[in-house]
Chains A and B, each alone.
Chain A
């Protein structure tokens, strides 16, 4: 008697939550935007944002000055988380390994090692998972300590080392979120370690642990169901019944528990008591395996109690149900072959809530997904389904990008048409203004230098007004015209000219400091105008450059991107077709297996009807006597 390995798998808690936002401490808005997408489950958008931010950050000369620097550890971790949630295990592994090998705190490194181990475990790379856990130095940080040990135990279980798993789980004092899973896994580990009695006691404890959430209640049910099965198979029907009775009637394991509870009673020859759970079961969802089995178990119990007429009626009801279900399965197979399953999968409205897969059955002409529930719960099929949906999403994006690239081409063309006729004239005018501006700036510079020089070597004549300069020149002219004559008239005129020059020099000398100060004030006023002019000049240069940058130099990049998009779209189409075919094949295989089982049950029901009538007739004739 072996408990299937998948029972252990069900108890794994591997949800990867995005790193909590820093809230009020958020320093990088784009990191906040990536989290905003991630919190809505839009991991592609989250990755697109964060990849862009990280690429920019790592391309900076001084990244420590960037706002992302404050969150860089969180950001690097988040990339790994987002990739994992977007089912990109390879890249997630690389991202987390990069954190692990970077210069980070021990606590960060430990968490990275733990995450890497989880990825390896999910990918069935068990040795790598253990190796990653071994990189946790000393004691794991408090927040992840239980998770680390829980994972370690799961790896031991998966590698066939139940005794080590028992040791780890036995020491685990986990909080409420893990308690039920740890208790259940310990029971399974003990069982696998050939310690059935201890396993039974442990599962008994696990089945009676108080739980507040759905997952906790479900694992409690699971513990009771497995315990009931073990006890049933070991012939302890009474305890098996007690354990199975503890499974909630509305929980996910209720149907199986009711079926086995009935068998526990029936095995103790208490068919009348076995009928109680089975009769509850037969009125439930008719596609459920347990319900279908109960449809045959109920008449079997009636026949065992000698109620052959009742048994014949119930076999008849079972026969009708099996025939209907075979028709439904056939219709489902037909629907899948016509591609309706895949069509239903990608319909947006069918993915609005968590139970979207179940809801597919309500769509017109969609297959009966209840028959696929077990298949859909498997990790590989889930991955295939999500990959199919992701591929559809990628296709939509690629098609939209194709349109965007065409639009970019249009924008660039229109900008070119707008700017090209105008720019030569603008440039010519700018060159003219530019040379005038340079000249004036040169003059201003020269004036500044002269004023500076006059601080040490005063030159009053440099500060003469235009009138004064003209007057000075006229005096010089008069002096020249007077020549060297010694006539009294000339002497008198020369004296007058000298007085005039003296008056001019006096004014220039006495007003020199005042004029120098005024010249500085004027030069500073000119500086303000020059600064404004320089700003305007820079703005023009930027705008002019922006005009060119708005339409020049994109052709190669856009063409390359267009080619990449085209190639990716082809790959997406091909992969979607292959993935879709794979999903359809696996689903059809599953349905055919169910069909085979239903046909066998149908035959059994037919035989049961005939047998019941025979027995009823024999009983009748026996009662009437010879």
Chain B
């Protein structure tokens, strides 16, 4: 038995060396592939940038572009369930939030909920917010605003807050 162990030992060492060099080879290949994947990502991102500019130019030219953003008031604990938007009486967005999206809003992220086209001049915006308060009670609020579209792209920010937070439940900011 002892002999067998000794006799096998050099083979085992060689096998380990083979394994090690095979492992190194695989590691090198993986790293090589990783470099190529990084290059591809970089190229695709540059395409994405060009494509998004083209899309904006084609579909939402600055003369008519309006973009509406949703943010949560800092520190607000309201659980936002859904937001519905109407511009001049037409439903343009109805968004239901996932837990991940809500978390991103709570951390300070801003969601571009709608981008579209309107003529220059005044427009009516109706905002409906559905959510739950910290205690679990349902909360629903509707507000109407007027915003003015000029020649440049119009950015509208809606900052939402629960009713008990001391903030305006739906505040409009124009950019």
The CA-CA distance from A412 to B54 in the complex, in Å, is 12
Contact partner, A542, options B41, B63, B73, B111, Cβ 8 Å: B63
Which residues of A approach B to under 8 Å, CB–CB? 20-24, 26, 29-30, 32-33, 35-41, 44, 47-48, 51-52, 55, 67, 86-91, 380-381, 383-384, 387, 390-391, 394, 397-398, 401, 404, 408, 411-412, 539, 542-543, 546, 549-550, 554, 557-558, 561, 564-565, 568, 571-572, 575, 578-579, 582, 585-586, 589
Number of interface residues of B (CB under 8 A): 54
Asked if A39 and B103 make an inter-chain contact with CB atoms under 8 angstroms apart, the answer reads: yes
Asked if B100 and A387 make an inter-chain contact with CB atoms under 8 angstroms apart, the answer reads: no
Contacts of A387 in B (CB 8 A): 33-34, 37
The CA-CA distance from A51 to B50 in the complex, in Å, is 10
B110 to chain A, nearest CB (A): 3
Does any Cβ of A come within 8 Å of B92's Cβ?
A: no
Asked if A44 and B107 make an inter-chain contact with CB atoms under 8 angstroms apart, the answer reads: no
Decide yes or no: A29 and B37 within 8 Å by CB, A48-B48, A380-B27 being known contacts. Answer: no
Q: Chain B: interface secondary structure?
A: helix
Asked if A568 and B44 make an inter-chain contact with CB atoms under 8 angstroms apart, the answer reads: yes
Does any Cβ of A come within 8 Å of B31's Cβ?
A: yes
Decide yes or no: A554 and B54 within 8 Å by CB, A33-B112, A37-B109, A55-B49 being known contacts. Answer: yes
Decide yes or no: A384 and B110 within 8 Å by CB, A401-B51, A557-B54 being known contacts. Answer: no
Contact partner, B41, options A32, A383, A390, A408, Cβ 8 Å: A390
Contacts of A37 in B (CB 8 A): 104, 109
Contact partner, A572, options B40, B51, B120, Cβ 8 Å: B40
Contact partner, B109, options A39, A383, A398, Cβ 8 Å: A39
B19 nearest in chain A by CB position? A593
The CA-CA distance from A398 to B47 in the complex, in Å, is 10
A557 nearest in chain B by CB position? B54
Asked if A26 and B37 make an inter-chain contact with CB atoms under 8 angstroms apart, the answer reads: no
B28 nearest in chain A by CB position? A380
Shortest beta-carbon contacts, A-B, top 3:
A21-B108, A36-B109, A32-B110
The CA-CA distance from A55 to B105 in the complex, in Å, is 25
Contacts of B42 in A (CB 8 A): 88, 90-91
Which residues of B approach A to under 8 Å, CB–CB? 22, 26-27, 29-31, 33-38, 40-55, 57-59, 61, 63, 67, 69, 71, 73-74, 100-101, 103-105, 107-112, 120, 151, 155, 157, 175
A585 to chain B, nearest CB (A): 7
Can you pick out 14 interface pairs between chain A and chain B where the beta carbons lie within 8 Å of each other? A30-B112, A32-B69, A39-B107, A39-B109, A40-B100, A40-B101, A40-B104, A44-B48, A88-B42, A384-B33, A390-B37, A546-B63, A554-B58, A557-B54
Asked if B107 and A21 make an inter-chain contact with CB atoms under 8 angstroms apart, the answer reads: yes
Contacts of A557 in B (CB 8 A): 50, 54
B170 to chain A, nearest CB (A): 16
Decide yes or no: A398 and B44 within 8 Å by CB, A32-B69, A48-B49 being known contacts. Answer: yes
The CA-CA distance from A51 to B47 in the complex, in Å, is 11
A37-B109, A67-B175, A380-B31 known, 10 other contacts, Cβ within 8 Å = A26-B108, A29-B110, A33-B109, A48-B45, A387-B33, A390-B41, A408-B54, A546-B63, A568-B40, A582-B26
Asked if B37 and A561 make an inter-chain contact with CB atoms under 8 angstroms apart, the answer reads: no
A539 nearest in chain B by CB position? B120
Asked if A91 and B109 make an inter-chain contact with CB atoms under 8 angstroms apart, the answer reads: no
The CA-CA distance from A586 to B53 in the complex, in Å, is 41
Contacts of A398 in B (CB 8 A): 44
Asked if A35 and B110 make an inter-chain contact with CB atoms under 8 angstroms apart, the answer reads: yes
Contact partner, B43, options A87, A384, A568, Cβ 8 Å: A568
Asked if A397 and B110 make an inter-chain contact with CB atoms under 8 angstroms apart, the answer reads: no
B108 nearest in chain A by CB position? A21
A393 to chain B, nearest CB (A): 10
Contacts of B57 in A (CB 8 A): 549
Contacts of A575 in B (CB 8 A): 33, 36-37, 40
A616 to chain B, nearest CB (A): 22
The CA-CA distance from A466 to B157 in the complex, in Å, is 59
Contacts of B53 in A (CB 8 A): 52
The CA-CA distance from A88 to B34 in the complex, in Å, is 9
A405 nearest in chain B by CB position? B51
A273 to chain B, nearest CB (A): 29
Determine which residue in A48, A390, A398 has the highest number of CB atoms from chain B within 10 A of its CB, and name it: A48
The CA-CA distance from A401 to B63 in the complex, in Å, is 25
Decide yes or no: A394 and B40 within 8 Å by CB, A32-B69, A40-B100, A568-B47 being known contacts. Answer: yes
Asked if A35 and B55 make an inter-chain contact with CB atoms under 8 angstroms apart, the answer reads: no
A55 nearest in chain B by CB position? B49
Asked if A561 and B47 make an inter-chain contact with CB atoms under 8 angstroms apart, the answer reads: yes
Asked if A550 and B51 make an inter-chain contact with CB atoms under 8 angstroms apart, the answer reads: no
Asked if A32 and B26 make an inter-chain contact with CB atoms under 8 angstroms apart, the answer reads: no
The CA-CA distance from A372 to B103 in the complex, in Å, is 32
Asked if B38 and A384 make an inter-chain contact with CB atoms under 8 angstroms apart, the answer reads: no
Contact partner, A36, options B37, B45, B74, B110, Cβ 8 Å: B110
Contacts of A52 in B (CB 8 A): 49, 52-53
Asked if B51 and A561 make an inter-chain contact with CB atoms under 8 angstroms apart, the answer reads: yes
The CA-CA distance from A67 to B48 in the complex, in Å, is 23
The CA-CA distance from A548 to B131 in the complex, in Å, is 45
Asked if A24 and B74 make an inter-chain contact with CB atoms under 8 angstroms apart, the answer reads: yes
Contacts of A32 in B (CB 8 A): 69, 71, 108-110
The CA-CA distance from A579 to B48 in the complex, in Å, is 23
Contact partner, B69, options A24, A29, A51, A408, Cβ 8 Å: A29
The CA-CA distance from A40 to B107 in the complex, in Å, is 10
Asked if B38 and A89 make an inter-chain contact with CB atoms under 8 angstroms apart, the answer reads: yes
The CA-CA distance from A44 to B48 in the complex, in Å, is 9
A97 to chain B, nearest CB (A): 16
B175 to chain A, nearest CB (A): 6
Determine which residue in A38, A52, A557, A568 has the highest number of CB atoms from chain B within 10 A of its CB, and name it: A52
Asked if A20 and B38 make an inter-chain contact with CB atoms under 8 angstroms apart, the answer reads: no
Asked if B51 and A404 make an inter-chain contact with CB atoms under 8 angstroms apart, the answer reads: yes
